[in-house]
Amino acid sequence: MSGKDGINVKDFLIGGLIGGIVGSVTALLLAPKSGKELRGDLNEHVDVMKEKGSQWKDVAYEKGIEIGNVAKDKKRCPC
Query: How far apart (Å, rounded) are the C-alpha atoms in residues 64 and 50?
Result: 21
Query: How far apart (Å, rounded) are the C-alpha atoms in residues 8 and 27?
Result: 29
pLDDT tens by residue, 43-59: 898 899 899 989 989 89
How many Cα neighbours within 13 Å face the side chain of 61?
A: 6
Query: How far apart (Å, rounded) are the C-alpha atoms in residues 38 and 59?
Result: 31
pLDDT tens by residue, 7-43: 688 888 888 999 998 998 888 778 777 778 878 888 8
Instruction: Tell me the whole-structure pTM to 2 decimals.
Output: 0.46
